[in-house]
Structure 1
Amino acid sequence: MQQRVSFITLAVRDLAASHRFYVEGLGWTPEFHDPTEVLMFRAGPQTVLSLWDRAHFEAEVGASAQTGPGVVPITLSHNVHERSQVDAVLADARAAGATEVSEGVQREWGGYTGYFADPDGFRWEVAFNPGPVGQLVLPPVSDTT
């Protein structure tokens, strides 16, 4: 098996709310959208983020454990080239209706990160990571956010 992730699939409660947040709020462009089942975005050169209606997800995969208090046990990360871009992306997420937005914080490991939650509570980390692994995942400088 080759070392790669092709799809990241998140089971969502309200696909229309996810569409409003990601497309209308954050300005993302869908690659595919079936309003009753799934919304897909190109998230990298060979990676797709798939937001799948929870009922359809559970019919194929099985019951989900997303119940009760607390944070969904996964984070997604959006890395940026400069520290100031963390704050700009967090502001965009807040304007798009993101809940539980934390401000950017200087981390002891040398980076600067903050978090926001999408309509289903999935936490997005917005990160400036000056280390080699952080630089590995960045697009060319012309795509700044």
Structure 2
Amino acid sequence: MDPRISVVTLAVHDLAASRRFYLEGLGWTAVVDVPGEVVMVQVGEHVVLSLWDEAAFEAEVGPVSRGDGVPPVTLAHNVATVEEVDAVLAAAGAAGASRVSRGERREWGGYSGYFADPDGFRWEVAYNPGPVGRLLLP
């Protein structure tokens, strides 16, 4: 099996709110948009982010458990400069994201901050000057 992730699926509580946030707020374009069911956005050369209505998700995958705290996953959007981190965090805030942390220097040598989408999924916006950072940018 090749090491690859093709689709990241997020079970969302309010698909319409997630659609507004990602498509209208962030300006992303859907490759699949079925109202009340799913919105899919191509986020990489061979990678799709799938926002799936929670009820439909549960019908296929099983019960969703939500409680206090942060969902135990983060998504990352890497950029080429420190300034871009701050600009993306500002754009996400303008789209309605909750700012979790502003951009700051990290002990691993980069700079990053976090925002949360309507369901609380955390997005890291990061500038990584190291070799891994170069792998992540087009």
Q: Return the TM-score normalized by structure 2.
A: 0.98
* Inter-partner Cα distance in structure 2 for 1:44 and 1:70: 29
**Matching of residues 93-108 of structure 1 within 5 Å:** 93-108=92-107
Deviation, structure 1 residue 102: 1.5
Higher normalized strand content (fraction of residues): 2
RMSD: 0.7
- Given residue 90 of structure 2, which amino acid in structure 1 is its aligned partner? A
Q: How many pairs are equivalent?
A: 138
**Kept in 2: contact 1:94–1:101 (CA 8 A):** no
* Inter-partner Cα distance in structure 2 for 1:119 and 1:106: 26
Report the counterpart of residue 13 of structure 1 in structure 2.
13
| DSSP 3-state at the match of 1:77 | strand
Deviation, structure 1 residue 101: 3.5
Report the counterpart of residue 78 of structure 1 in structure 2.
77
* Inter-partner Cα distance in structure 1 for 2:61 and 2:105: 39
* Inter-partner Cα distance in structure 1 for 2:100 and 2:90: 9
Superposed CA offset, 1:97-143 (max 9, x none): 0013411010011000000000000000000001101110101xxxx
The structure 1 segments of at least 4 consecutive aligned residues displaced by more than 6 Å after TM superposition are: none
| DSSP 3-state at the match of 2:134 | helix
| DSSP 3-state at the match of 2:98 | coil
- Give the percent of matched residue pairs that are identical in Structure 1 and Structure 2: 66
* Inter-partner Cα distance in structure 2 for 1:49 and 1:31: 10
Unaligned runs of 5+ residues in structure 1 are 140-145
Superposed CA offset, 1:26-64 (max 9, x none): 000000100110000001000000000000000000011
* Inter-partner Cα distance in structure 2 for 1:101 and 1:135: 25
- Given residue 28 of structure 1, which amino acid in structure 2 is its aligned partner? W
| DSSP 3-state at the match of 1:109 | coil
Report the counterpart of residue 136 of structure 1 in structure 2.
135
